[in-house]
Amino acid sequence: MEFKGTTIICVKKDGKVALGGDGQVTLGSTVVKSKAKKIRKLYNDKVVVGFAGATADAFTLFEKLEDKLNEYAGNLTRAAVELAKEWRTDKILRRLEALLIAADSSSIYLISGNGDVLSPDEDICAIGSGGNYAYAAAKALLKYSNLTAEEVVKESLNIASSICIYTNSNITIETLGE
């Protein structure tokens, strides 16, 4: 499932997690907003979440994930699994069109309405129309530079914005860790 109109990327390096997204919102082939914030901190700023997809759907999922985090005392793994189960089986939720990346200081997950809760093999996860560009850039930057997680996210999003017409360079980044 790929969504046009955004790039979200999460990188974990040296005990720090950075999650960032561009600010462009498109409707068809028209840019309707250029400074949207597609990422949030949840659960007393211990979890960062970003979305690709329909905005109202994503906000609903942010609220549901925060409820699950509260229910499971901040256990992101359990909250993500329970959210994915509910998302897949609930009549109304299963119609929501979005993907989420959620991370805490030790885990990164891609969560979908198909019931997926995927932890990447590497400490990089990206979604959206520019996700593959940002992922490739982050992979190279992690291998060939000494940039911090936050710097890798910023540069990866800038690279994606120079390639993907649905991604801009109005970047928001949230970090966790030391």
Q: What is the pLDDT of residue 93?
A: 81
- pLDDT above 90 covers a percentage of the chain that reads 75
Cα–Cα distance between 80 and 5 in angstroms, integer? 24
pLDDT at 173 over 80: yes
Q: What is the pTM of this model?
A: 0.94
Kindly name the residue from 6, 26, 167, 172 that is annotated as catalytic: 6
The 10s digit of each residue's pLDDT in 84-118 is 999 888 888 878 788 999 999 999 999 988 889 99
Q: What is the pLDDT of residue 91?
A: 83
Which amino acid, one-letter code, is at 11?
V
**Higher-pLDDT residue of 73, 32:** 73
Q: What is the pLDDT of residue 134?
A: 98
The yes-or-no answer on residue 6 being catalytic is: yes
The 10s digit of each residue's pLDDT in 130-169 is 999 999 999 999 999 999 999 999 999 999 999 999 999 9
pLDDT at 66 over 90: yes
DSSP 121: S
Cα–Cα distance between 72 and 68 in angstroms, integer? 6
Domains of the chain listed by start with CATH number: 7-168 (3.60.20.10)
